[in-house]
C-alpha cells in the first residue's frame, strides 16, 4: 500500500521557531505594522517589503527552508519566498535606506535570546501543518 508521506511538523519549542517569531516581531516594530497585517495576503508595498525582510532574515538567521518560511506566512509557496528573497536582496543593494533598515533590524535581533517564551505558545504564526526547519 502506497501512502503519501506526511510532512514533518514544526517543533514549536525549537530555538529556530522562537527566533523566527522574534524576527517577525522586530520587523513589525520597525515597520510599525501589526502581525496580522504581516501575515495577511494584502499587497500594500510596506507590507510586501516587511514580509520580504522577514523572509530574508528568517532564512539567514534560522536556516529554515523556503517551504517552512512559506508555511509560516499563511501557506504561501516556496517560490513566493524565493521571489521575495531575490527581490529584497536586489533592492537592498540599490536602496541605501532599505540597506540601513535591514542592518538596523539585524542588529536589534542578534542579541535576542532564542529561549522559548510562554507568551508565544499560541501566536497567530503557529501553523500546526508546517514542516520543520531543516539545517542541511
Residue 129 and residue 18: Cα distance in Å, rounded? 17
Burial of 58 from C-beta contacts in 10 A (0-12 / 13-18 / 19+) = buried
Q: Are 97 and 49 contacting, i.e. CB atoms less than 8 angstroms apart? A: no
Residue 3 domain-assigned (yes or no):
no
State mean pLDDT over 42-64: 95
Give the per-residue pLDDT at 75.
75
Range of the domain at 102: 15-111
- DSSP letter for 26, please: H
Give the per-residue pLDDT at 58.
95
Q: What residues have CB less than 8 Å from 39, skipping those under 6 apart?
A: 73, 74, 124, 125
Quote the mean pLDDT of the chain.
81
| pTM of the full structure | 0.76
Domain containing 23 — which CATH number?
1.10.1750.10
Residue 124 domain-assigned (yes or no):
no
Residues 99-121: pLDDT tens digits? Answer: 999 999 999 987 654 444 444 44
Give the per-residue pLDDT at 7.
55
Amino acid at each position: 500500500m502506497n501512502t503519501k508521506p506526511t510532512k514533518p511538523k514544526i517543533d514549536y519549542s525549537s530555538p529556530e521557531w522562537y527566533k523566527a517569531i522574534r524576527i517577525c516581531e522586530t520587523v513589525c516594530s520597525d515597520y510599525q505594522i501589526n502581525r496580522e497585517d504581516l501575515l495577511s495576503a494584502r499587497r500594500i508595498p510596506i507590507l510586501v517589503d516587511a514580509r520580504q525582510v522577514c523572509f530574508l532574515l528568517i532564512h539567514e538567521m534560522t536556516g529554515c527552508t523556503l517551504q517552512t518560511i512559506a508555511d509560516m506566512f499563511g501557506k504561501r509557496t516556496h517560490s513566493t519566498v524565493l521571489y521575495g528573497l531575490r527581490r529584497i536582496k536586489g533592492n537592498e543593494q540599490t536602496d541605501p535606506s532599505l540597506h540601513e533598515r535591514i542592518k538596523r533590524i539585524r542588529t536589534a535581533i542578534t542579541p535576542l535570546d532564542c529561549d522559548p517564551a510562554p507568551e508565544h505558545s499560541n501566536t497567530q504564526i503557529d501553523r500546526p501543518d508546517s514542516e520543520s526547519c531543516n539545517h542541511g
